[in-house]
Amino acid sequence: MDKIKQQIKDDFPILNQQIHDEPLVYLDSAATSQKPRAVIDGITQYYQTINANTHRSVYTLGQQATDQYEAARVKVAKFINAKLAEEIVFTKGTTDSLNLVAQSFGQSNIQAGDEIVITYMEHHSNLIPWQQLAIQKQAVLKYIKLTEDGQLDMADAEVKITDKTKIVAVAHASNVLGVTNDVKKLGQLAHEHNAVIVVDGAQSVPHFPVDVQDLDADFYAFSGHKMLGPMGIGVLYGKEQLLRAMPPYQYGGEMINFVEEYQSSWADIPLKFEAGTQNVVGAIVLGQAIDYLQSIGMDEIASYEHELVAYALPKLLAIDGLTIYGPKDPNLHNGVISFNIAGLHPHDVATAFDMDGVSVRAGHHCAQPLMKYLGVVATVRASFYLYNTKEDIDKLVQAIIDTKEFFKV
Q: Residues of 41-52 as b/e, b for ≥16 C-beta within 10 angstroms?
A: ebbeebeeebeb
Helices (H), 249-357: 280-296, 298-317, 346-355
Q: What is the helix (H) or strand (E) element at residue 142, kind and residue range?
A: strand 140-144
Contact 81, 211 (CB under 8 A): yes
Taking each helix axis from N to C end, the angle separating 2-11 and 280-296, rounded to the nearest 10 degrees, works out to 140
d(CA 90, CA 278): 8
Name which of 207, 238, 210, 236 is nearest 223 in CA terms.
236
- Whole-Å CA distances, 200 to 23, 75, 93, 319: 33, 20, 11, 33
What lies within 8 Å, CB to CB, of 6 at 6+ separation is: none
Which one from 128, 366, 376, 397 is the annotated catalytic residue?
366
Q: What is the DSSP letter of 326?
A: S
Cβ neighbourhood burial of 228 (10 Å; 0-12, 13-18, 19+): buried
d(CA 148, CA 327): 9
- Distances from the Cα of 248 to the Cαs of 44, 200, 301, 334, in angstroms? 32, 21, 37, 36
Report the distance separating Cα 181 and Cα 190, nearest Å: 14
Active site (annotated) includes residue 366 = yes
Q: How many C-beta atoms lie closer than 10 Å to residue 58's C-beta? A: 6
Distance of CA 282 to the CA centre of its chain: 16
Give the orientation angle of helix 280-296 with respect to helix 298-317, to 10 degrees: 80
Q: How many CB atoms lie within 10 A of CB 148?
A: 7
Cα 337 from Cα 384, distance rounded (Å): 9
228 neighbors 194 (Cβ within 8 angstroms): no
Residues annotated as catalytic are 366
